[in-house]
Structure 1
Amino acid sequence: MLRRRKIPGRKKVGLALGSGSARGWAHIGVIRALNEAGIKAKFVAGTSIGAFVGAFYASGRMKNIEDFTSLLTKRQVFTMLDLVFPRSGLLDGDKVSEFFAEQIGPKMMEDLEIPFSTVSTDLDSGEEVVISRGDILDAVRASLSIPGVFTPVMLNGRMLVDGGLTNPVPVDVVREMGADFVIAVDVNSSIFSNNAKDEVAKERSAVTWRKRSETFGAVKLFEDKIRKFAQEKESSLFKGWRKKEKLPGILDVISTSMNIIEVQLTRMRLAIDPPDMLITPDVGDIGFAEFHRAYEAMEAGYRAAEKALDSM
């Protein structure tokens, strides 16, 4: 049990939970550590898996997701995958949505205990889309829609995909919600390097930020290329083409591409708008779809939060 701590001054704490697929279970451990330390967020924003976990936190139902993930096996992960190949994504995400709807409680974002926002990306314009009102399931499902993996979500006339393409760790979003002390959790920092914080420091003096619509106008092109690749490989995918050609699987291609985009973008954005506390769980060895390694991720999140709190 961590000793209780107070954020300096009468601050409104905001929690920004980043994208990262299976690595995002580390958010659960971070939240457990913050709770033990007596730190409760007044605002929460999440991207992708961060939106998924964040919704449980905002609804006061963290025990539901912690109990579920702690017992998750490889087989259970597989049974939650609903293949729709070769449409606009490999998976529909319906089974994940069903679990979420059963466990979350409130149906509308306005009814949550803590103000909550999700981040998605408009596939047509490349713009960041922040959702703070309306159906929780729609907002979270859109934020989770990794291009090429999950089918996009049509919401209010916009085709939405994973928010990690535009804002992987939504520090600015939770600030705009009213937070004046932001705790950010980046679960991707150790994928390619253990020196992410040093890289952020270097970026601060050199980075030039361009308009999001200009920088990420190629999101749709990325999606189209992934879809074309999937269609070309459909017939051979199930005949051992990976062994024959010694190429990575399609999920490896997609996940690595997303990792590259999100790690670089996170470094840029944290350089421009750094949080008051940055927590970086060491979960780089947990693969894109290794959701069964939840215990490891949660423990890594807890340790990282403990370290960050000790340095306050």
Structure 2
Amino acid sequence: MKSPVKTLFFILLILIGNPLSQNFNYSKSITPRELISKEYTNETQKCDLALVLSGGGARGIAQIGVIEILDSAGIKPDIIIGVSMGAVVGGLYAAGYTPKELDSIARSINWGELLSDIPERSIMLQTQKETESKYFLTIRFKAGKLLIPSGYLAAQKLLNKLSELTAAATIRSKKNFDKLPIRFRSVITDLTTGEAIALRKGNLGEAIRASISVPILFMPYTIDSFYAVDGGLRMPVPVEVAKKLGCKRIIAVNTTAQLIPRNQLNTFNKVAEQTTTIMQQDLIASERLLADVWIEPDLRNHNSTDFTNIDSLIEWGKDAARKALPKIFETIKKHEFIKIDTIISTPEIPGLQNLLRGTITSKML
């Protein structure tokens, strides 16, 4: 993503204040469990193993590498719960794409173009080209008042791509995410109520798009009755959703932004990013306590808006998953039950017809 987009993000933060602190009361202690819509998480299906995927922008692509290692080791989750970029990666995997196909998709996409709503110059009128080359920001006024948009990008190109990739799965599943090859939940934040919602039905592409609506950068997305923004606002790593669904074992992957060292806090952008990261620390810490296995790839402070190093991101994800395999297998083994071949309800001992049954059973206890 180019610097003008990031610049606009922080200009708008200055103009209207920090929306995260204004719209959500972080001083009030609210557990994620209280914020999950019962309608969208009421479950009865069996869930032995859940895979929880986080956000992190470009950093979230590392989760493809994690999935590739888990898949090759024969570890298949019963359900995938994704938020933001984790909803993209997890949603496509749940839809039936193989890890190799996910890898290919991530490498083939022009992310800068996909995350921009500027039309290709080849289809623009000459006047549009002239305007586009002069300005990257247009400010509108009404009745002498500055109009602040709800978001810089409608992300229509992104929605189109997601719809293209998930159309077949949406049709086959009849818009029921429990009918996908792997069950799936896309976590959003309802901007109206502040609730975290785990979507389990609808158009798969739209459900994923709704989860990545980073406030101000992307316009909120209306889905069902929800005014959706990035699910990571309330659940950066939505382990609590898996707990709510009754999953016995939970593997969580955290690719959210890490705290930046002091000597690197030398730009306004980095200071603003650090502020958001700090606000998420307690939420992430509480989710970590709920996971059986926590995978956190070493992403070398990779910038969340840098989509130029896909190879390294995926390899870093693989490295972290390989290191976690012993813990994963140990966790799976702990939850396995010993198979009972034969059940003896009443012992029969030939030749002891004259003994009372109670005499025999009392000696066996």
TM-score (norm 1): 0.71
Cα displacement string for residues 42-98 of structure 1 (whole angstroms, at most 9, x for unaligned residues)? 1110111111111111111134331021245xxx22222115866211211111111
Decide which of 237, 252, 258 is 2:276's aligned counterpart: 258
CA change 1:88–1:282 in 2 (3 A) is: same
Report matched runs for 1:89-168 at 5 Å.
89-104=151-166, 105-107=168-170, 108-110=175-177, 111-168=179-236
User: Partner amino acid for 1:35?
Assistant: D
Q: Greater CA deviation, 127-136 or 23-32?
A: 127-136
The reply to whether residue 21 of structure 1 matches residue 57 of structure 2 is: yes
In the alignment, which of 70, 73, 80 is matched to residue 107 of structure 2?
70
RMSD of the TM alignment (CA)? 2.4
Question: AA paired with 1:170?
Answer: P
Counterpart CA distance in 2 for 1:267 and 1:123 is 23
Where does 1:216-227 land on structure 2 (aligned, <5 Å)? none
Looking at structure 2, the residues matched to 257 and 150 of structure 1 have their Cα atoms a distance apart, in angstroms, of: 19
Deviations 1:118-174 (A, max 9, x none): 111111221111111111122111110011111101122321100111011111212
Is residue 45–residue 54 contact of structure 1 (8 Å, CA) maintained in 2? yes
Q: Which residue in 1 is equivalent to 2:297? A: 281
Distance (Å, rounded) in 2 between the aligned partners of 1:154 and 1:21: 21
Structure 1 residue runs of 4 or more that deviate by more than 6 Å after TM superposition: none
Q: Name the structure 2 match of 1:295.
A: 311
CA contact (8 A) 2:57 2:305 kept: yes
**Contact 2:61–2:314 at 8 Å: present in 1 too?**
yes
Q: Which residue in the other structure is 1:37 paired with?
A: 73
Unmatched tracts of structure 1, length 5 or more? 1-9, 194-245
Distance 1:115 1:155 in 2: 20
Percentage identity across aligned positions? 32
SS in 2 for 1:291: coil
Task: For residue 188 of structure 2, give the secondary structure of its aligned residue in structure 1.
Answer: strand
Q: Distance in 2 between matches of 1:255 and 1:71?
A: 28
Output the CA distance in 2 between the equivalents of 1:101 and 1:265: 31
Structure 2: gaps spanning 5 or more residues: 1-45, 119-136, 139-147, 331-365
| 1:190 and 1:284 in contact (8 A); partners too | no
Greater relative CO (CA pairs within 8 A, separation 6+) = 1
Residue correspondences, number: 244
Kept in 2, the 8 Å contact 1:189–1:284? The answer is no
Conservation of the 8 A alpha-carbon contact between 1:29 and 1:298:
yes
* Change in CA separation of 1:139 and 1:161 when aligned onto 2, cut-off 3 Å: same
Q: Partners in 1 of 2:293 and 2:181 — Cα distance? A: 23
Question: Which entry has the higher C-alpha Rg, 1 or 2?
Answer: 2
**Partner Cα separation in structure 2 for residue 53 and residue 255 of structure 1:** 23
The corresponding residue for 2:285 is: 267
Helix, strand or coil at the partner of 2:308: helix
Provide the residue aligned with 1:223 in structure 2.
none
Equivalence for 1:199 = none
Amino acid at match of 1:248: F
CA distance in 2, matches of 1:27, 1:299: 10
Given the superposition, is the C-alpha separation of residues 247 and 20 from structure 1 closer, same or farther in structure 2, using an over 3 Å criterion?
closer
| Structure 2 residue 253 is matched with structure 1 residue 185 | yes
Q: Structure 1 pair 11/94, CA: closer, same or farther in 2 (3 Å)?
A: closer
> Does the 8 A contact of 1:118 with 1:132 survive in 2?
yes
Number of the residue aligned with 2:359: none
User: Could you tell me how far apart the structure 2 residues matched to 1:79 and 1:182 are?
Assistant: 35
